[in-house]
Structure 1
Amino acid sequence: MENQVTYAQAGVDTAEGARAVDAIKGVVHETYRPEVVGDIGGFGGLFSIAAAKDMADPLLVSGTDGVGTKLKVAQMLGQHSTVGIDLVAMCANDILATGAEPLFFLDYVAIGKLRAEAVADIVAGIGEGCKQAGCALIGGEMAEHPGVMDPDDYDLSGFCVGIVDRPKMLDPESVREGDVLIGLASSGLHSNGYSLARKVCVEGKTPEELRAPREELEGRSVLEALLTPTRIYVKPVRAVVGACPGAVRALAHITGGGISENLNRALNEGVDAEVDLGTWPVPSVARYVCDAAHLSEAEALKTFNMGLGLVLIVDPAQAEDVEAACAAAGETTYRVGRVVSGTGEVQYANEGGLYGFSA
């Protein structure tokens, strides 16, 4: 046996993996809903969909996404408990675009060297995101990749499944000329555009520069501002949809591609979205990155969310009711435009006025 090479000697520590599972059990259990069957550790997560029998035509809605190079910012700051929120947000906000209720979530953590405490921090953020979205974390995978990833490197993927009753589904085909665009505020860059943000704001800077408070970032450091977690809109938006039946026709989650390349996904081929620039505040971190990159207004609008995390397309007769319901749910809203006749594109009014918001 003197030539034996064990799995642990090859770089994979299954005992540490078991310890990591034990470390996250409490976080996982905190996300459970009554529909969860069994516990983590099985070969598959079980979730009852008995409630679907009360729907006229239940549809399952699924989404998958990651956090991208924002993870590099977390690694530089040594703070790993918020990127899990980003992971859930990117998936749950996407399926919310159909009006769906997120039911359950699964994660995939790929890591160079498995350390139970580090994984527990990451999964704590995923658990917090699941609680914010109201979905259960019912399974996942922790994969140790020695020789493929650096020991301190990791990547995240998430998978979310929700349900919506087809008659109540939000549908771009229902959008019509005259509808109102109501924007919901973002918390910052969310989880998109970080390859550019890192290139112009992080690369070539000293740790002292990146950690120093900056007046133009409202007293935050560059790393802190970039690491602000993505907002999860599930609970407030579903509350609004429930309070104002039929008022919200469609919605767009503003992710990679910015307003220009996401709002059009909530339109049909007979209309355009006309966005009034300057009708909402641009977060300080977005302006900071755009200034550092010398981005034109048009380029900024197709790269970052620029302050709008979601855009609701609303029946004009019920726009005030929707705004009131949003306020009651704790949301800050802005009327940012209207739907006009067109071909399914996004156009802008008041060009040059992106940064001109005045409260």
Structure 2
Amino acid sequence: MDYQQAGVNLAGARGFVEAIRPAIGRTQVPGVLGGIGGFGGYFQLPAGYQEPVLVAGTDGVGTKLKLAQILNKHDTIGIDLVAMCVNDVLTSNAKPLFFLDYVATGVLDGKTLATVVEGMTHACVQSGCALLGGETAEMPGFYVPGVYDLAGFCVGVVERRELLNGSQVEIGDVALGLASSGVHSNGYSLVRKILESLTESLITDDTNMLAILAQTPPELGGKTLGESLLVPTTIYVPAINALREQGIEIHGMAHITGGGLPENLPRCLGQNQKVAIQWQNWQWPGIFPWLAQQGNISESAMRETFNLGIGYVVVLPPAQVAKAQEIVAQFGMKTYIIGEVMG
């Protein structure tokens, strides 16, 4: 016997690495030392920091990946993976430096996985960070053919005195919500449960599920359910970088992921502080009312599960809100004043 007979294609793995090498090369930023293929990736810290603090984050895309595989659409799920990680690191005021991925599959499909990695590189370029390396694990017998799993890891850097930890937030500060592109990459177990309820069989019956995902509910403005549910997670790095560069005083930031605003917004506040969210200040994107209706989900459960149209929150002084909104608008992104910090 040999490794090939056990189901692991070493030659295919080598070919896959060579295929993605040019795309990874496009993510190179100052600080990258060497290329891919070693046992580790090397990155030199940028000069000019007096007390640099490294900030690390890791995440996946949840069962949104299942829908991508049912629809055989793999070009945006890598964007989701990078976005979930860089947005988390960004909340501490850190600049993303580099990203690494872990891809696990039962049978290596080089073409499909190259498409996934292309999405990652696109997101890394948008975030200003390097795709420093990764791991592709072929595990026959653990994953069925056609199935793959993803995880991502991001490291950023921030000057220690500029690290956001909640202590900078002041009573009277404004919580400015930045619009999401949709469901992003959280709550898909509930999404899939709702989709299951619309079929006569479980979601594992891909034929039935494809029919559901091809529907175009009026709430979605002409898009299919599949298109709406696979819209990639917004990357907020460029907009936040612009706020910093133009002198906006940021006191706190929150990435609105699983648990929605009620769980994530308090994570960037100081002790004994809270924000009374003004839920009426923005309208839910159409996919959320559709999910609520189809699943008979209460408004409180929707708030505690989904971002409901607010993907990121910046906490800042009231006097700087108007200027911040103008800056973010230059990135084609809507903003909403969603509340005020109280004691």
Q: Normalising to structure 1: TM-score of the pair?
A: 0.90
Residues 286-315 of structure 1, C-alpha deviation per residue, up to 9 Å, x if partnerless? 221122221211111110000000011111
3-state SS, counterpart of residue 65 of structure 2? helix
Superposition deviation, residue 170 in structure 1: 2.4
What code does the residue aligned with 2:240 have? V
* Counterpart among 8, 15, 37 of residue 11 in structure 2: 15
3-state SS, counterpart of residue 40 of structure 1? coil
Q: Distance in 2 between matches of 1:24 and 1:275?
A: 44
3-state SS, counterpart of residue 173 of structure 1? coil
TM-aligned CA distance change 1:253 to 1:242, over 3 Å: same
Q: Distance in 1 between matches of 2:229 and 2:65?
A: 10
Matches within 5 A, 1:90-109: 90-109=84-103
Q: Normalising to structure 2: TM-score of the pair?
A: 0.94
Matched, 1:129 2:123: yes
Q: Distance in 2 between matches of 1:241 and 1:202?
A: 44
Residues 51-98 of structure 1, C-alpha deviation per residue, up to 9 Å, x if partnerless? 2xx123211000000011000100111001111000000000000001
Residues 297-356 of structure 1, C-alpha deviation per residue, up to 9 Å, x if partnerless? 111111000000001111112222222222234431111111111xxxxxxxxxxxxxxx
Matches within 5 A, 1:324-339: 324-339=326-341
3-state SS, counterpart of residue 171 of structure 2? coil
Matched, 1:191 2:185: yes
* Counterpart among 224, 235, 238 of residue 235 in structure 1: 238
Q: Distance in 2 between matches of 1:203 and 1:6?
A: 45
Q: Distance in 2 between matches of 1:47 and 1:284?
A: 42
3-state SS, counterpart of residue 276 of structure 2? strand
Preserved CA contact (<8 Å) 1:106 1:137 = yes
Preserved CA contact (<8 Å) 2:274 2:342 = yes
> What residue is the counterpart of 2:229 in the other structure?
226
* Counterpart among 14, 36, 42 of residue 46 in structure 1: 42
> What residue is the counterpart of 1:57 in the other structure?
51
Residues 5-42 of structure 1, C-alpha deviation per residue, up to 9 Å, x if partnerless? 11000000100000110110111001111221111111
Pick which of 210-219 and 253-262 moved more. Answer: 210-219
Preserved CA contact (<8 Å) 1:201 1:222 = no
Unmatched segments (≥5 aa) in structure 1: 342-359
* Counterpart among 300, 303, 306 of residue 304 in structure 1: 306
> What residue is the counterpart of 2:205 in the other structure?
none
What code does the residue aligned with 1:89 have? A
> What residue is the counterpart of 1:319 in the other structure?
321
Matched, 1:35 2:31: yes
Pick which of 228-237 and 280-289 moved more. Answer: 280-289
3-state SS, counterpart of residue 172 of structure 1? coil
3-state SS, counterpart of residue 252 of structure 1? strand
Q: Distance in 1 between matches of 2:196 and 2:71?
A: 12
Superposition deviation, residue 43 in structure 1: 1.0
> What residue is the counterpart of 1:6 in the other structure?
2
Q: Distance in 2 between matches of 1:57 and 1:257?
A: 33
Q: Distance in 2 between matches of 1:285 and 1:328?
A: 25
Matched, 1:282 2:284: yes
Q: Distance in 1 between matches of 2:190 and 2:138?
A: 29
3-state SS, counterpart of residue 300 of structure 2? helix
What code does the residue aligned with 1:209 have? I
Superposition deviation, residue 209 in structure 1: 3.0
Residues 139-167 of structure 1, C-alpha deviation per residue, up to 9 Å, x if partnerless? 00000010011011111000000001122
Q: Distance in 2 between matches of 1:326 and 1:333?
A: 7
Aligned length: 334
Q: Distance in 1 between matches of 2:253 and 2:46?
A: 28
Q: Distance in 2 between matches of 1:118 and 1:177?
A: 50
What code does the residue aligned with 1:192 have? N
Preserved CA contact (<8 Å) 1:244 1:322 = no
> What residue is the counterpart of 1:348 in the other structure?
none
Unmatched segments (≥5 aa) in structure 2: 200-207
> What residue is the counterpart of 1:111 in the other structure?
105
